[in-house]
């Protein structure tokens, strides 16, 4: 009887699934200063069209508790990176951020070299020619040239555009290392799983365009009434890749004109910039 019970217990033990070991957790990066990262996240959530933002607005954009944001905005205001408007209770970027941006732009040799050439292309195309760098999952304009035509895009230095759906962003993705591109595409996918198949198709189309014709195109893909083409390059000097786009309202800059007339000039212009920079 005892032997039968013992056998039954052994059989049950074998049938019972073994407990799985807990998944290993990634070790925290002891060099990463979370408070500093959050403060910089607050500053970067201000966009070109924002006049003022309240703590609730910033909390929603940064995905942080409002109490945490309140402490961060208080500290940044004390340091001059934010300015508090007493009547509205909201914030705008302070003069200290302007100082940082001015120093960065002044040291960009590519910007100085590119500007006169960009203006020539803007005058020829009657569009807007922009020089951009990557900032997280966006491209940020560091230089802009417009034609004398009044009808151009309302974007200026500091404006941000998405990396995945714009000609400038796709051109950037086409020239960077494959490992960096995979990482960025994974980050883009994780932000919007549902839209990812269409986004990936657009990026892959842009990569093929770059291989075939030396530039990326976005004809109504970012905004349905905007057409643009772009070429990217490595400026050297330890700087990350940059990209130059030419675009404008779709009714003024048709795809055929951009592809046949503007593209050769844009490619040649980027080659001249690279030669001047020695990159």
pLDDT at 81: 87
Residue range 154-173, pLDDT digits in tens: 778 888 899 999 999 999 99
End-to-end CA distance of the chain: 86
How many Å apart are CA 142 and CA 139, to the nearest integer?
A: 9
pLDDT at 70: 93
How many Å apart are CA 1 and CA 25, to the nearest integer?
A: 47
**Is the C-alpha dihedral spanning 159, 104, 32, 80 positive or negative?**
negative
**Angle in degrees, CA 157, 160, 165, rounded to 5:** 130
The class level of CATH for 31-97 reads mainly alpha
Residues 6+ apart with CB under 8 A from 4: none
> Which three-class secondary structure state does DSSP give residue 159?
coil
Entry pTM: 0.72
88, burial (CB in 10 Å: exposed 0-12, middle 13-18, buried 19+):
exposed
Could you tell me which CATH number the domain at 108-277 has? 3.30.450.40
Residue range 1-33, pLDDT digits in tens: 444 544 444 444 444 544 444 545 556 778 888
Q: How would residue 65 be classed by pLDDT, with cut points 50, 70 and 90? A: very high
The mean pLDDT of the chain is 86
Would 31-97 and 108-277 be classified into the same CATH topology?
no
Domain ranges of the chain: 31-97, 108-277
How many Å apart are CA 132 and CA 162, to the nearest integer?
A: 11
């Amino acid at each position: 009887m005892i032997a039968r019970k013992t056998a039954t217990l052994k059989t049950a033990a074998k049938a019972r699934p073994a407990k799985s070991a807990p998944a290993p957790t990634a070790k925290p990066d002891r060099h990463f200063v979370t408070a500093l990262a959050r403060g910089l996240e607050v500053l970067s959530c201000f966009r070109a069209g924002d006049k003022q933002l309240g703590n609730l607005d910033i909390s929603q954009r940064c995905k942080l508790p409002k109490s945490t944001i309140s402490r961060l905005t208080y500290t940044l205001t004390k340091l001059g990176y934010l300015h508090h408007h007493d009547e509205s209770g909201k914030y705008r970027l302070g003069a200290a951020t302007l100082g940082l941006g001015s120093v960065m732009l002044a040291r960009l040799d590519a910007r100085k070299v590119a500007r006169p050439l960009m203006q020539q292309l803007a005058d020829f195309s009657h569009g807007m020619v922009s020089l951009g760098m990557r900032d997280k999952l966006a491209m940020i304009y560091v230089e802009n040239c417009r034609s004398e035509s009044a009808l151009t895009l309302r974007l200026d230095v500091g404006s941000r555009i998405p990396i995945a759906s714009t000609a400038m962003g796709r051109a950037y993705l086409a020239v960077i290392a494959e490992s960096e591109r995979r990482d960025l595409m994974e980050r883009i996918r994780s932000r919007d799983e549902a839209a990812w198949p269409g986004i990936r198709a657009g990026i892959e189309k842009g990569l093929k365009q770059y291989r075939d014709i030396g530039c990326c195109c976005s004809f109504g893909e970012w905004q349905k009434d905007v057409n643009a083409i772009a070429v990217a390059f490595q400026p050297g000097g330890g700087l990350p890749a940059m990209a130059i786009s030419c675009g404008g309202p779709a009714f003024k800059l048709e795809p055929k004109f951009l592809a046949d007339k503007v593209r050769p000039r844009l490619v040649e212009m980027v080659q001249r910039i690279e030669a001047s920079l020695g990159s």
